[in-house]
Every structure is written in C-alpha cells, then in structure tokens.
Structure 1
C-alpha cells in the first residue's frame, strides 16, 4: 500500500501537482525563514511570535502561488471564490500551525536546535498534511 502511494506521488495522477506544491512550498519556506530571522534577530521578537507572524504571511503567499500554478486546473476565480479559497487554505494551514509551532518549540527548547533549523524540520513535518487537505478541500 505504501509503495502504491509513493508510486502515485512519483508518476500518478497527482504527481505534477505534488511537484508544483513542493516547489511553491520550498519558495515560501525560504520566505518564512527569512521573515522569521528578520522578526527574531532584527526586530527582537520571541521566536514563537515571529514564527506565527511569518507563517501567516507565507500562508497568503502560498495560496496565491498554488492557486495560480499548482491547482490551476481547479483554480479559484472571481472575487468571492478566490476569497473563499483563501479562507479555506487559512483554515487548513491554520490547523497545521500548532503542529508546526509545537515541533519548533520542542526542538529549540528540549533538543537545543537553532530556531531556524528547527523551523525547517517543523515545515517538513506539517507539509504533507497541508498538501492533502488543500488538494482535497481548498481546490477539491
């Protein structure tokens, strides 16, 4: 079963979407890390507060890019549909925020990992969850 799922991700019907989702995710993860660094090291915010703000900004950026490219076949168009999709993705990704912040805090506080590296791990942990819910609900 796991092999079949992995095979579908590599060459199945959702493979192109998954690759595009990963590209958008990598770009927005880079943005999130840059914003996190800016908020913590430049503005002096606590890393959890900075991460929360950076996550919300990248949620919006991810939606714009994913709607235009990753899910363009089922793209949300028109003002009300676009805003409804933005609300849906905020709900989807918002439910991943506690997971991401929990992993971030655990790695920083308990494992002594630098906050930027810990945030990369936290992004990866919550990434598949976000893809499945966005693909099925936001653009489903």
Structure 2
C-alpha cells in the first residue's frame, strides 16, 4: 500500500500536480522567508507576528499560482468560483498556520534554532498536509 502511494507520487496521476505544487511551494516559501526577515529584522516585529503576516500574504500568492498552473485541469474560473476557491484555500492553509507557528515556536524557544531556519522546517512539515487538503477540497 505505501509502495503504491509512493509510486503514484513519482509516476502516477498526481505526480505532475505534486511536482508543480512543490515548485509553487518552494517559490512562495522563499518569498515567505524574505517577508519574515523584513518584518522581523527590518520592521522589528516579533517573529511569530511577522510569520503570521508573511504566511497570509503567501497563502494568497500560492492560491493564484496553484490555480493557474498546478491545478489548471480543475482550475477555479469565474468570479464566484475563484473567490470560493480562495476562501477554501484560506481555510485549508489557515488550519496549517497553528501547525507552522507551533513548530516555529518550539524550534526557536526550546531548541534555540534561528527563526529563519525554524520557519523553513515548519513550512516543510506543514506542506504535505496543505497539498492533501488543497487537492481534495479546494480543487477537488
């Protein structure tokens, strides 16, 4: 069973979507890291507040890119469908915010890891969760 799931991720029907999702995710993660750095080191915000703002900005950007490219076969078109998809992805990714912030906090406060490194780990850990929910609900 696990072997079949892994095979589907590399050569199955969702392999292309997964690769595109990873490209979009890596791109928006880089943007999120840049925004986080700006909010914390330049604007002087607390790293958790800066992360929350950066996450929300990249949620919207991720939706735009994923809708246009990753899930183009089931793309949300038309104003109400597009906005409905944006609301759904905000709910999906909004439920991942506590996961990401919790990992970020734990790594910074308990493991003394630099906030940017901790944020990269937190983004990675919440990524699969977001893909599964987005694939099956936002564009399902």
Same fold, judged at TM 0.5 (above): yes
**Offset, 1:76:** 0.3
- 1:6-17 equivalences in 2 (<5 Å): 6-17=6-17
Distance in 1 of aligned mates of 2:104 and 2:72: 32
Q: Which residue matches 1:70?
A: 70
Q: Which residue matches 1:108?
A: 108
**Offset, 1:2:** 1.5
1:54-105 Cα deviation digits (max 9, x unpaired): 0000000000000000000000000110000000000000000000000000
**Offset, 1:18:** 0.2
Q: Which residue matches 2:24?
A: 24
Distance in 2 of aligned mates of 1:125 and 1:3: 21
Distance in 1 of aligned mates of 2:2 and 2:113: 31
Q: Let me know the Cα RMSD of the aligned residues.
A: 0.4
> What is the TM-score normalised by the length of structure 1?
0.99
1:31-57 Cα deviation digits (max 9, x unpaired): 000000000000000000000000000
Q: Which residue matches 2:2?
A: 2
Q: Which residue matches 2:90?
A: 90
Distance in 2 of aligned mates of 1:109 and 1:67: 36
Q: Which residue matches 1:121?
A: 121
Distance in 1 of aligned mates of 2:129 and 2:91: 13
**Number of corresponding residues:** 140
Mind listing any 5+ residue stretches in structure 1 that lack a counterpart? none
Mind listing any 5+ residue stretches in structure 2 that lack a counterpart? none
Q: Which residue matches 2:39?
A: 39
Q: Which runs of 4+ in 1 moved over 6 A?
A: none
